Amino acid sequence: MVVEFMEYGDLNQFLQEHIAETASTLPQNAKMLSYGCLIYMATQIASGMKYLESLSFVHRDLATRNHFKFHVCANRNCLVGRGCAVKVSDIAISRSMYSADYCNLEGKALPIRWMAWESILLGRFTSKSDVWSFAVTLWEILTFAREQPFDELSDDKLIENAAHFYKDDGQEILLPLPINCPKEIYDLMCECWQRNKRPNFREIHLFLQRKNLGYKPGMD
């Protein structure tokens, strides 16, 4: 099988190798990414997911990381090439370094920190649950993948949090606003984390495109 070579590897590691252009302290020879570039990358992921959505294809495991080899679903990841090109792939290289991102739930290794409540509790995966995961991925991008989503919650507490969504009791916890993230972008994330009504990828892609007008990546 011949596949496209994406020389910078998975998006998670790429982000961690860079810092924000607006960082107060810039180490010598630091690799920087602008806010515009982050949104540019997120827009490309949204574009890929819009295409999958148009085919009624459910991804199930969208995230910045490469995927854990024992995951029961097909392995897919976001890979980075020249010019900050980001593509959603179905090819993975096994990396046990991401095993902590998965929780053993009823005999299955599941990335519950990226999953919608209905996927965790009911085993229901749809394009709308992919939208939820996309918002977590967007959160990762804007935090430079420096921390795990819901790092302060244990797996059991995270499942309990999903139950609050199920009960619709108003006690659910969302991921916090990333540093320097505009409110309108965070509002988009929160829309993607709604209990029921969430935007589709066509709407998400269009919104991000509008926020990305005129941006050209500095990398070649």
| Active site residues per annotation | 61
Determine the longest span between alpha carbons in the chain, in angstroms.
50
